Chain A
């Protein structure tokens, strides 16, 4: 299949071709890819594409899979309504 027809990140609609273009431009890591194309930043939070992105990085740059690092995950791990946090803070 042609890279432009392969969707890697379904949430943000990013193709394999777009990933390759980023590699060509000099971007080498998951951290960089997600910042420019939102790869892994959608509702699934890289649960679907994460492994595939690591795999493509590893293949393209010819590095072991373990070195194609997953992106940094920051708090919160689950969405919480701001209002709920605000009310809780008031009670303390």
Chain B
């Protein structure tokens, strides 16, 4: 293991590999990425693989839109030999009440103002897109045709291989145990396999971002919670878009492989690092999906698992540094949508680290936005 680096990135999820790749591409040398387990072992490899631009805050919309533009060309840009399986067949968001429809109208107006091709749909129009949708439990919908699906494993692999070609060193099965800070400046990262001196450390530790912050003496207002998900047997293609509903508490899509993956949130799940599967989840998920998408009920569920959402107070990510500790940067608090935002996470953080002007306004993404202030913009379009 190296004992000196210019940048040490903690976390081998989609954020970590995207940051590594972007930094290397901007010419930073001596980049080390450290992952406790294997790449994608955190939330990235447990996620729903959904990519959507239909958000309720400007920052989330912009992050998602620019990331989609990258995904559309990622295969070529990263010169990947595998298949990232980016399938743009849309997200159909269905609501149940007039009140929800009102929120949808506001969201769509915001999205359209940012050139995101989303639109309102009647429930009949929604059914034309997903014929097995049970419109008895749907009021209105919104749809964006360029949203879709992306394979978390191969997307991470694509970034990883490109980063390696640019000289990034990746240490898997290596755990960060401490961060040494002197005179409010990062000096080194301590792992179970040795210490690496570095002026810059990036916290991309997903569900453990708060603990990494504590190591450096930075208090990050995030917490983690288990979110469960399941997968069915694969069948022939019957559903193009992801179907999602905040009021029904479900997201459900058919992957290019043919399997359906679906999940829902549980506000009562304990805060912490537990990622167990429960029969309660399976019961509720089965009921919800058979109500909203009845024919999907005929599929056999073959596996379920859990993963961590790392929640920020406004459900927008925290991307950037902090005045408190020089050289400490973070990309966390993705609140359940960090997979789809990774291209921008990597780009923005690399711009900040190398002293460039960020590609979009950062005001809603800084850690300091929470400094004793009341939260004005909050993302509510989350499952």
Question: Does A76 lie within 8 Å of B157, measured CB to CB?
Answer: no
Question: Does A31 lie within 8 Å of B38, measured CB to CB?
Answer: yes
Question: Does A81 lie within 8 Å of B299, measured CB to CB?
Answer: yes
Question: Does B39 lie within 8 Å of A32, measured CB to CB?
Answer: yes
Tell me the bound Cα distance from A25 to B305 in angstroms: 27
Per the 8 Å Cβ criterion, residues 256-300 of B in contact with A are 257, 277, 282-287, 289-291, 296-300
Binds B, one of A49-57, A60-68, A82-90: A82-90
Residues of A within 8 A of B277 (CB): 74-75
Query: Which chain B residue shows the least CB distance to A90?
Result: B287
Tell me the bound Cα distance from A85 to B305 in angstroms: 17
CB distance from A27 to the nearest CB of B (A): 7
- The listed residue (A25, A75, A76, A85) touching B283 by CB distance below 8 A is A85
Question: Does B286 lie within 8 Å of A89, measured CB to CB?
Answer: yes
* Interface presence of A35 (CB below 8 A): yes
Question: Does A81 lie within 8 Å of B287, measured CB to CB?
Answer: no
CB distance from B180 to the nearest CB of A (A): 27
Residues of A within 8 A of B286 (CB): 82-83, 85-86, 89
Residues of A within 8 A of B287 (CB): 86, 89-90
Residues of B within 8 A of A85 (CB): 282-283, 286, 301
* Interface presence of B170 (CB below 8 A): yes
* Interface presence of B302 (CB below 8 A): yes
CB distance from B371 to the nearest CB of A (A): 39
**Which A residues form the contact surface with B (CB < 8 A)?**
25-29, 31-32, 35-36, 38, 74-76, 79-83, 85-86, 88-90, 92
Selected A-B contacts with CB under 8 Å, 12 pairs: A26-B164, A31-B38, A35-B45, A35-B153, A74-B305, A75-B303, A79-B233, A82-B289, A82-B296, A82-B297, A82-B301, A85-B286
> A28-B172, A79-B301, A82-B232 provided; 14 other pairs, C-beta below 8 A?
A27-B38, A28-B173, A31-B38, A32-B38, A35-B153, A74-B303, A74-B304, A75-B277, A75-B304, A76-B304, A81-B297, A81-B300, A82-B300, A89-B286
